[in-house]
C-alpha cells in the first residue's frame, strides 16, 4: 500500500483482529508492503493544510499530522496485531517540488515503523514515482519485485513444510545479534549510483565467471584487488547481473557488510552454532543460491572467515555429505549413516526414503570449541543405539541417538567423566586413531587405540577401562559380531586377534611387507576374518575363533588356556602381475567362460570340472570393452 492507503490498511488490521466476523480474513494476511506510507505522520501536513484552506477543503489532511490522534492510535495498536506478518517499508530518497521549494514528502523517519519484523529499504524515486515505474528495469521496480518474489517463495515453501514463525521478541534479538537493520538493496543501489556506464562488464564476459554462474556444484569465485579500486562496485554489478539474467526466480543473494556491526565482536563458534547450525543450515535447498560477500579485506580475521565459509559449504543440505560409517538396525529394516557434517541420518529400506531428511546432530550439547569440528571417526553401536564420535585431541563422545542426548564422555585412563570426573592433564593427549564396539549378551565393550600406541578396552555400562595393551600401535580395529574377538592391524602391517574383554592375544600374522590393510572385518558367524591390502583380499579361518563360550571357559580353564595360547603365523604376500579382466561373458550352451584382459588377450575357461581349465584363444594389442557370443554360441565377437 502506498501513501495514505497504508494507514487505512493498518487501521483495518487493527479493527479486523478485534472483530470475530473479520478475524478469519485478517488471519490470512501474511505480509504487507508499504510504499512511502507516513507511519509517523508527515511534516508536510501543515503545508498541505494551509494550501487546502486556500483551494478548498481536503479530507483527512489533519490526520497526517504527527500529533494527530489517529496516527498516535495506529502507532500504538498496530505492533500488537502484526507480530506474525512480514512487513516491508520502502521510503523515497528523491525530493519533489512543492510550491517554490523541493523537499521529501515522506522522509525515512516517517516512512518506517522500526519494528523487529519490518524490512526497511530505500527507493531511488520521489514520492510520486515510488509506485509508478517507467520500465521493468527501473531499480525501484526491481527492489519491490524481488521483495515480493521472496515473500511468495517463502509462503510456498511454508505450505509444503510448515514452520513456526519467530516471535517479534525473537526476531528483535536476532536483529540485534546480527546488527542488520536495512535491506541489502540499499548498498547495491548506492554502488550502482557511483558506477560509470559500461564499467564492470569485463567480468561478466569472462569465461570463469560464466562457468561459476552456470555451475550446479558449490564453488567459490574470489576476486582480489587493492583498496579503492572498485571491488564493492563490482560486487553490486554482479548482483545486478544475476538478477537481470532471469536468475531472480532461483536466486537468494546474501549481501552482508558486517565490519561495523556487533557481529564483528561475536565469537565465530557461537555464531556458527546459534545462527547457522540451529537455523540457516536446517533449510533444505531446492535451488542454487548465490552469495555475494564484500569487504573481505576489511575482515579482522580473514583466515577464520574463509574457514567459516568452507564449513557452510560442507554442511549445507544441498551439498552431498561424506559418509564416515553406516550400519543396519531394526532387523536390517533401517540403515543408519553417520556423516562428516556431524549428522546421523536414517534410511527406511522398505519405504526407500529418509525417515528424517535433516537427520540428527550430536553437536547440540557439545562445548562451543567442538561445534565446528569435523570428526575423525564415528563408530555405531547397532544394538545399544550409542554412537561414538572421535575428534582429534578430544575425549571420546558417546551420543544416544534414540534420546538425542550426550550419553557420556570418556578420558583415556579413567573412562567415564560423569562417574569419575576429569583427570586429563592437557588437551591433545587423547587422540583416538581407531575404535570399535563389541557386544555380548552381558556386556557392551568399546575398544580404542590412541596416538601414543596404547590400546584400551572400556566397559561402557560400568564406565571404566578394563584392559590395556601398551604400545600396541594398532592403526585399524574390527570387532566380531559375537563381541568376543577384536582384530587389530599394527603400524608395520601385521594383524593380531585379541580376546575382546581381556585383550589377551590369540592369533598373530606377520607379513613380509609394510603394506597396511585398507579394511578389516569378520563374517557374520564370527568364524572367519577378512583383510584387504591393495588389490588382494584374504579370508582367514584360524582355529582360535572356534574357542568355547565364556561359560565353558570357566568350566575348562586349564584346557582352554593351553589350547588358546598365542599362535603366530608368518605369511608371504605374492604380488601377482596378472592383467585385470575388463570384459566377460558366459556360453549358454557350453560350460565355458570367455574373458577379455587389459593386455589384449581373450581366454576361454572350461568350468565343467572341479578346476577350471584355461586356454588362450588369441591376443591383440588392444583393450577389450566387451566380449560376446553369437546366438548359437559358435562365434566370438569383441568390442574394442
Query: Residue 359's pLDDT is what?
Result: 82
Assign 99 a pLDDT band (cuts: 50, 70, 90): low
Domain limits at 588? 581-639
Nearest residue to 324 (alpha-carbon basis) of 370, 387, 411? 387
Query: Does any domain span residue 26?
Result: yes
Q: Which three cell numbers stand for residue 146?
A: 524481488
Is pLDDT of 286 > 70? no
Verify that 565 and 496 share a domain, yes or no. yes
Is 340 or 424 the better-scoring residue by pLDDT? 340
Query: Residue 599's pLDDT is what?
Result: 74
Assign 32 a pLDDT band (cuts: 50, 70, 90): very high
69 contacts 39 by C-beta, under 8 angstroms: no
Task: List C-alpha distances in Å: 110 to 208, 329, 436, 534.
Answer: 45, 62, 66, 73
Verify that 312 and 329 share a domain, yes or no. no
Of 64-68, 479-483, 593-597, 598-602, least confident by mean pLDDT is 64-68
How many Cα atoms occupy the beta-carbon half-sphere of 213 within 13 Å? 20
Verify that 368 and 507 share a domain, yes or no. no
Verify that 208 and 66 share a domain, yes or no. no
Query: Does any domain span residue 66?
Result: yes
In the predicted model, what is the mean pLDDT of residues 404-424? 88
Indicate the angle between helix axes 185-194 and 139-160, nearest 10 degrees.
Answer: 150
> What distance in Å separates the CA atoms of residue 415 and residue 421, rounded to the nearest whole number?
9
Q: What is the DSSP letter of 64?
A: G
Query: Does any domain span residue 544?
Result: yes
Is pLDDT of 603 > 80? yes
Average pLDDT score over the chain: 77
Sheet holding 536-540, edge to edge: 519-522, 529-533, 536-540
Query: Does any domain span residue 467?
Result: no
| Length, in residues, of the chain | 640
Query: Residue 369's pLDDT is what?
Result: 77
Verify that 154 and 5 share a domain, yes or no. yes
Q: Give backbone dihedrals phi and psi of 45, rounded to 5 degrees, phi first.
A: -60, -35
Verify that 418 and 373 share a domain, yes or no. yes
Verify that 309 and 327 share a domain, yes or no. no
The number of domains in the chain is 5
- Residues whose CB is less than 8 angstroms from the CB of residue 100 and which lie 6 or more positions away in sequence, other chains included: none
List the alpha helices (DSSP H) in 424-474: none
pTM of the model: 0.46
Query: Does any domain span residue 89?
Result: yes
Verify that 188 and 315 share a domain, yes or no. yes
Q: Is 93 helix (H, G, I), strand (E, B) or coil?
A: coil
Is pLDDT of 54 > 50? no
Query: Residue 506's pLDDT is what?
Result: 93
CATH number at residue 122: 3.40.50.1820
Is pLDDT of 609 > 70? yes
Verify that 156 and 92 share a domain, yes or no. yes
Query: Does any domain span residue 433?
Result: no
Q: pLDDT digits over 198-230, tens only?
A: 788 888 888 888 877 776 566 777 777 777 777
> What distance in Å separates the CA atoms of residue 221 and residue 219, rounded to the nearest whole number?
7
In the predicted model, what is the mean pLDDT of residues 614-619? 76
In the predicted model, what is the mean pLDDT of residues 555-581? 64
Query: Does any domain span residue 461?
Result: no
- Proportion of the chain above pLDDT 70, given as a percent: 70
> What distance in Å separates the CA atoms of residue 299 and residue 305, rounded to the nearest whole number?
8
**Vertex 77: Cα angle to 74 and 83 (nearest 5):** 115
Picking from 319, 349, 373, the residue at the C-terminal end of a domain is 319
- Residues whose CB is less than 8 angstroms from the CB of residue 447 and which lie 6 or more positions away in sequence, other chains included: 435, 436, 438, 455, 456, 457, 458, 477, 479, 486, 500
Assign 382 a pLDDT band (cuts: 50, 70, 90): confident
In the predicted model, what is the mean pLDDT of residues 93-108? 81
Nearest residue to 188 (alpha-carbon basis) of 129, 252, 251, 232? 232
Q: pLDDT digits over 186-197, tens only?
A: 566 666 666 777
Assign 33 a pLDDT band (cuts: 50, 70, 90): very high
Is pLDDT of 513 > 60? yes
Picking from 557, 576, 595, the residue at the C-terminal end of a domain is 576
Residue showing cell 584382459: 597
Nearest residue to 586 (alpha-carbon basis) of 636, 538, 623, 536? 636
496 contacts 490 by C-beta, under 8 angstroms: yes
In the predicted model, what is the mean pLDDT of residues 411-425? 83
Task: List C-alpha distances in Å: 266 to 179, 276, 309, 362.
Answer: 11, 14, 16, 23
- Proportion of the chain above pLDDT 90, given as a percent: 16
Verify that 308 and 328 share a domain, yes or no. no
Is pLDDT of 629 > 80? no
Assign 562 a pLDDT band (cuts: 50, 70, 90): very low
Assign 355 a pLDDT band (cuts: 50, 70, 90): confident
Assign 499 a pLDDT band (cuts: 50, 70, 90): very high
> What distance in Å separates the CA atoms of residue 97 and residue 66, rounded to the nearest whole number?
22
Of 14-28, 84-98, 400-414, 425-439, least confident by mean pLDDT is 425-439
Verify that 19 and 158 share a domain, yes or no. yes
Is 406 or 580 the better-scoring residue by pLDDT? 406
Nearest residue to 486 (alpha-carbon basis) of 522, 451, 510? 522
Query: Does any domain span residue 460?
Result: no
Q: Quote the radius of gyration of the chain (alpha carbons, Å).
A: 35
Verify that 546 and 594 share a domain, yes or no. no
Is pLDDT of 602 > 60? yes
Q: Positive or negative, the Cα torsion across 109, 113, 117, 118? A: negative
Is pLDDT of 166 > 50? no
Amino acid at each position: 500500500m502506498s501513501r495514505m492507503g497504508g494507514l487505512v490498511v493498518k487501521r483495518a488490521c487493527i479493527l479486523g483482529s478485534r472483530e470475530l466476523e473479520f478475524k478469519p480474513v485478517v488471519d490470512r494476511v501474511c505480509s504487507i508492503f508499504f510504499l512511502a506510507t507516513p507511519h509517523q505522520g508527515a511534516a508536510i501536513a501543515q503545508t498541505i493544510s494551509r494550501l487546502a484552506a486556500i483551494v478548498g477543503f481536503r479530507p483527512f489532511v489533519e490526520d497526517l499530522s504527527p500529533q494527530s490522534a489517529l496516527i498516535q492510535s495506529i502507532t500504538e495498536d498496530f505492533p500488537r496485531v502484526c507480530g506474525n506478518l512480514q512487513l516491508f517499508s520502502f521510503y523515497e530518497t528523491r525530493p519533489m517540488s512543492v510550491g517554490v521549494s523541493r523537499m521529501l514528502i515522506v522522509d525515512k523517519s516517517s516512512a518506517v515503523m522500526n519494528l523487529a519484523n519490518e524490512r526497511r529499504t530505500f527507493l531511488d524515486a520521489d514520492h510520486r514515482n515510488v509506485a509508478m515505474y517507467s520500465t521493468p528495469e527501473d531499480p525501484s521496480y526491481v527492489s519491490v519485485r524481488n521483495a515480493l518474489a521472496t515473500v511468495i517463495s517463502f509462503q510456498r515453501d511454508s505450505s509444503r513444510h510448515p514452520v513456526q514463525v519467530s516471535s517479534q521478541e525473537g526476531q528483535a534479538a536476532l536483529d540485534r545479534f546480527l546488527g542488520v537493520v536495512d535491506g541489502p538493496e540499499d548498498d547495491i543501489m548506492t554502488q550502482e549510483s557511483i558506477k560509470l556506464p559500461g564499467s564492470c562488464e569485463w567480468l561478466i564476459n569472462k569465461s570463469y565467471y560464466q562457468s561459476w554462474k552456470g555451475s550446479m556444484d558449490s564453488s567459490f569465485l574470489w576476486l582480489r584487488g587493492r583498496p579503492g579500486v572498485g571491488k564493492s562496485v563490482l560486487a553490486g554489478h554482479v548482483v545486478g547481473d544475476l538478477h537481470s539474467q532471469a536468475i531472480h526466480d532461483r536466486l537468494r543473494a546474501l549481501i552482508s557488510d558486517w565490519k561495523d556491526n556487533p557481529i564483528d565482536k561475536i565469537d565465530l563458534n557461537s555464531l556458527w552454532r546459534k545462527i547457522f547450525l540451529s537455523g540457516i543450515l536446517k533449510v533444505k535447498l531446492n535451488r542454487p543460491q548465490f552469495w555475494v560477500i564484500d569487504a573481505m579485506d576489511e575482515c579482522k580475521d580473514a583466515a577464520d572467515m574463509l574457514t567459516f565459509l568452507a564449513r557452510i559449504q560442507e554442511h549445507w543440505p544441498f551439498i552431498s555429505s561424506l559418509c564416515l560409517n553406516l550400519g543396519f538396525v531394526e532387523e536390517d529394516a533401517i540403515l543408519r549413516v553417520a556423516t562428516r557434517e556431524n549428522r546421523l541420518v536414517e534410511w527406511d529400506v522398505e519405504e526407500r526414503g529418509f525417515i528424517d531428511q535433516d537427520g540428527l546432530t550430536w553437536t547440540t550439547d557439545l562445548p562451543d570449541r567442538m561445534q565446528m569440528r569435523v570428526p575423525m571417526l564415528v563408530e555405531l553401536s547397532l544394538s545399544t543405539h550409542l554412537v561414538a564420535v572421535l575428534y582429534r585431541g578430544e575425549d571420546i563422545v558417546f551420543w544416544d541417538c534414540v534420546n538425542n542426548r550426550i550419553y557420556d564422555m570418556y578420558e583415556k585412563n579413567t573412562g567415564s567423566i560423569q562417574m569419575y570426573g576429569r583427570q586429563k592433564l592437557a588437551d591433545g593427549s587423547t587422540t583416538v586413531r581407531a575404535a570399535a564396539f563389541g557386544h555380548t549378551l552381558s556386556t557392551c565393550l568399546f575398544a580404542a587405540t590412541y596416538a601414543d600406541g596404547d590400546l584400551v578396552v572400556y566397559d561402557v555400562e560400568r564406565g571404566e577401562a578394563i584392559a590395556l595393551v601398551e604400545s600396541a600401535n594398532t592403526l585399524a580395529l574390527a570387532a566380531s559380531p559375537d563381541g568376543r574377538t577384536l582384530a587389530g592391524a599394527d603400524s608395520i602391517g601385521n594383524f593380531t586377534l585379541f580376546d575382546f574383554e581381556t585383550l589377551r592375544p590369540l592369533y598373530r600374522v606377520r607379513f613380509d611387507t609394510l603394506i597396511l590393510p585398507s579394511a578389516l572385518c569378520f563374517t557374520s558367524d564370527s568364524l572367519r576374518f577378512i583383510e584387504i591390502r591393495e588389490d588382494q583380499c584374504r579370508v582367514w579361518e584360524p582355529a582360535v575363533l572356534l574357542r568355547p563360550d565364556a561359560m565353558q571357559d570357566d568350566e575348562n580353564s586349564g584346557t582352554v588356556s593351553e589350547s588358546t595360547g598365542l599362535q603366530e603365523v608368518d605369511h608371504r604376500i605374492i604380488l601377482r602381475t596378472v592383467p585385470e579382466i575388463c570384459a566377460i561373458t558366459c556360453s549358454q550352451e557350453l560350460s565355458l567362460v570367455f574373458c577379455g584382459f587389459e593386455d589384449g588377450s581373450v581366454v576361454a575357461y572350461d568350468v565343467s570340472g572341479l578346476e577350471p581349465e584355461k586356454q588362450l584363444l588369441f591376443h591383440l594389442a588392444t583393450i577389450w570393452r566387451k566380449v560376446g557370443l553369437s546366438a548359437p554360441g559358435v562365434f566370438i565377437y569383441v568390442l574394442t
